[in-house]
Amino acid sequence: MRCLARIARTLPFALAAGGAWAGGAGAGGAWAAEPDPVARGAYVFQAAGCLGCHTDEKAGGLPLAGGRALKTPFGTFFTPNITPDPANGIGRWTDADFVRAFREGRRPDGAALFPAFPYASYTRMTDRDLLDLKAYLFAQPAAPVANKPHDLTPPFSWRFLVPAWQWMYLTPGPVPDDPARPAAWNRGRYLVDALGHCGECHTPRSLLGGLDADRYLGGNPDGPDGDKVPNITAHPKGVGGWSDGDVGLLLEAGLTPEGDVVGGAMGEVIRNSTSKLTAEDRAAIVAYLKTVPPLE
């Protein structure tokens, strides 16, 4: 197993390095030239990891009909129905409603969304990716499944306090490409910080649930369901001691350098998201992660 893993993690990155980013754009990537917004949206959907959170697989729930429990120190959130069902899902949302939810953390009626929906990261998405994602979601079967109410502890259940949280922790709008960096790096940052929202799990949080920017991607002792989430900075205790191929193989097949298989929440992310990315996009993620300031 370990010998095969060493061989497998070398070839894809040798190929990707050979010319993957000859004409790529930071936020757009290879899919930018695809003419069909639904097809583009399908790729955004995979990169953003929507399926895992919005489908209650354990209970046999319908795809994207919501109901999955997200246990946090503030109580249990239940993910909403994001199918185009007009009564229970997002079928009545306009383009502006959809963009505002991701960009500003607001429902169509103007009420603030709880930040269990990671809009503090998704706000960095481009308008085109957001509208392509909406096109894809609206092309999916509608599921007439009612949303479950959250089970939260006061004061965290008080929605009127969320705007104060947003004032402290939400900076709306996409992050422009850094012209001093290569296209692959910019694409990688976009995939890590916006679409993949990696920091939502790999960065520790304050007592109020905001991301600790000083510990960016430095690991989280209290991740989803209370699990410990590892450091993925360039520190040797993060991914700094891994080769590019090591990191790429984990993202593609869930194999560690020792040949072990990743399970748990990250295993789900790999299955539903990173394994479905292009080799070029996985290489871009690696290129970016290898430059993240090391934290022990």
CA 42, 274, 171, 187: dihedral to nearest 10 degrees? -90
Based on its alpha-carbon atoms, the radius of gyration of the chain, rounded to whole angstroms, reads: 19
Q: What is the pLDDT of residue 227?
A: 84
155 upstream amide cis, omega within 30 of 0: yes
CA distance 23 to 21: 5
Residue 104 one-letter amino acid: E
CB 34 within 8 A of CB 44: no
* Six token digits for residue 218: 């430095």
Residue 75 sits at φ, ψ, to 5 deg, of 130, -170
CB 52 within 8 A of CB 118: no
Model confidence, pTM: 0.89
Closest CA to 169 of 114, 211, 217: 211
* Six token digits for residue 274: 């990173």
Q: What is the pLDDT of residue 2?
A: 37
Closest CA to 292 of 205, 231, 225: 231
Instruction: Determine how β-strand 151-152 pairs with β-strand 69-72.
Output: unpaired
Q: What angle do CA 46, 50, 51 make, to 5 degrees?
A: 85
Q: What are the C-alpha distances in Å from 80 to residues 64, 133, 254?
A: 8, 16, 28
Q: What is the pLDDT of residue 175?
A: 85
Q: What is the pLDDT of residue 18?
A: 38
Residue 57 one-letter amino acid: E
pLDDT tens string, the chain, 296 residues long: the values are 333 333 334 334 433 433 443 333 455 666 667 789 999 999 999 999 999 999 999 999 999 999 999 998 899 999 999 999 999 999 999 999 999 999 999 999 999 999 999 999 999 999 999 999 999 999 999 999 999 999 998 999 999 999 999 999 999 999 889 999 999 999 999 999 999 999 999 999 999 999 999 999 999 998 887 789 999 999 999 999 999 999 999 999 999 998 899 998 999 999 999 999 999 999 999 999 999 999 98
Q: What is the pLDDT of residue 16?
A: 44
Closest CA to 199 of 122, 105, 104, 273: 122
